[in-house]
Amino acid sequence: MPLAYHTLNVFTQHRFSGNPLAVVLDADALETVRMQAIAREFNLPETAFILKPTSPTHSAHVRIFTPTAEVPFAGHPTIGVATLLADLKMGSMGGNHDALILLEQQIGIVRVGVRLRQGQAAFAEFDAPRLPEASGALAPVEQIGAALGLTSSEIGFANHRPVRFSAGTTFAFVPVSTRAAIARAEVRRPAWDAAFGGQGLVGAYLYCKECVHNTGSFHARMFAPDMGIPEDPATGSAAVSFAGVIRAFDDLPDGVHRRVIEQGYEMGRPSEVSLALEVTQGRLHNVRIGGASVRVAEGVLLD
């Protein structure tokens, strides 16, 4: 049976920037191997498949695939799917609307607030389904630098050092001294395999505090070649874990702290990820990720 699909750009207010996403509707009859084949055919960072929810109080059951593997949770599919479902339901009504979308993912139920405003890109924000935790040690700095085409002196700034954090998916977080150094970074095999391979990592998330815009808090790049993603324009799931990195290295008092992460600039796909950290009694209490999303195209997958 032919299946309708939509493509969106997420973490941006403009088409042809941000992180591209494909969403396939009414995918209940598809087997896992077929979903993976479709994701490989789209060859986008992620493809989401919408199935009927197991509970009538939920909006949808969602399965998410990179070109090479299924993942239990991802940020830009969460934002894109929620804005698409809200728009398909209420967009034709005109006017301004707010919606709460409950998505069943492998990681659990993800609550997403969606804001639809006439003449503006849809905006969505979700509470992280799992708080970030440190998840072990990384390779020595010399190996990390070799894997990324950087010198060891370009790894780290202030008290920030490379760490592993996980919030359902695990990333290596690599602080880089300057934006010029981040711009030169690249995946170098076989050094990449020695530094990051076989450790259950989605990829390496590089960041610095030098930004393109004065509204930015961090400038980032994310490489995930083992997941079929040479570089990701915007990584919401990594931003969730990055909240743990910020909390570990920056002195944050109790309260809500908002940060803006720039990503995708080196790819020509500028993206903006909104991150809010809530600290209570010295502990990270909640993490919220937000971003805009625009619809780009729609079509039909033939039988």
* Residue 91 in this model has a pLDDT that exceeds 80: no
**Tens digits of per-residue pLDDT, 18-74?**
999 999 999 999 999 999 999 999 999 999 999 999 999 999 999 999 999 999 999
pLDDT at 233: 98
Active-site residue set: 46
Tens of pLDDT, residues 218-233: 999 999 999 999 999 9
Give the CA radius of gyration of the chain. 19
Contact in structure between 64 and 71 (CB atoms under 8 Å): yes
Sign of the torsion formed by the C-alpha atoms of 170, 174, 180 and 184: negative
Flag whether the pTM goes above 0.75.
Answer: yes
Percent of the chain exceeding pLDDT 70 equals 100
- Tens-digit pLDDT profile for residues 175-216: 999 999 999 999 999 999 999 999 999 999 999 999 999 999
- pLDDT range class, residue 79, cuts 50, 70, 90: very high
> Does a cis peptide bond (omega within 30 degrees of 0) precede residue 53?
no
Q: Which amino acid is at 105?
A: Q
Q: Which domains does the chain possess?
A: 3-128+292-301 (3.10.310.10), 133-290 (3.10.310.10)
Helices (H) and strands (E) in the chain, counts: 6, 17
pLDDT bucket at 303, cuts 50 / 70 / 90:
confident
